[in-house]
Amino acid sequence: MGPPILTGMSNDEALSQLRIQEYYDDLSKLDIPMAHSQWYNIDVASLLNGTSIIGYEVDSDSGASLLLLEKSAILCCPNSGRIHHYPKNLIHCFVDDSRSDLKNCDGIILKAELFSISPNEEQLSWECCCRSELDVPEIQRKVSSWLSWLNQ
């Protein structure tokens, strides 16, 4: 059996709706307070109505999420109840690979960050890092995804 047929929608619209559903499915797996879940289901859901999501990431520790859109990124921070919006042209990617210098790496062997050049209290800083060689492919996959999005 194939994927569900969403009648009246273009392929792009249907794909975007599936991404939004995957996003909410991933959010539902988080161990976050009920107030944060409600915030996502009301405030963030109203923002996403009619929005095309290219990709997303969810931070299971903080409950925050990053949505990658065609021309911008949205950072959802349930702890503060804030939704931050960043134009894509102000976002950059930084990768710090310390595998060749393990003595000076504080245990973090690979770190990647999406960051923005914007006013101080509105800066984007979405990062991922790893302390094990086994986790390097996952960080590389994320960076590849970020760069693909940035270069679209």
CATH number at residue 57: 2.30.29
Print the domain residue range for 16: 11-150
* Domain tally, the chain: 1
- Asked whether residue 95 is domain-assigned, the answer is yes
Distances (CA, A) of 131 to 64, 98, 114, 145, 146: 22, 10, 19, 21, 21
- Asked whether residue 137 is domain-assigned, the answer is yes
Summarize pLDDT for 45-56 with one digit per residue, the tens. 998 888 889 999
Distances (CA, A) of 2 to 6, 24, 54: 12, 21, 22
Residues 94, 113 contacting (CB under 8 angstroms): yes
- Asked whether residue 100 is domain-assigned, the answer is yes
- Asked whether residue 6 is domain-assigned, the answer is no
Single pTM value for the model: 0.85
- Asked whether residue 73 is domain-assigned, the answer is yes
Is the per-residue pLDDT at 15 higher than 70? Answer: yes
- Asked whether residue 1 is domain-assigned, the answer is no
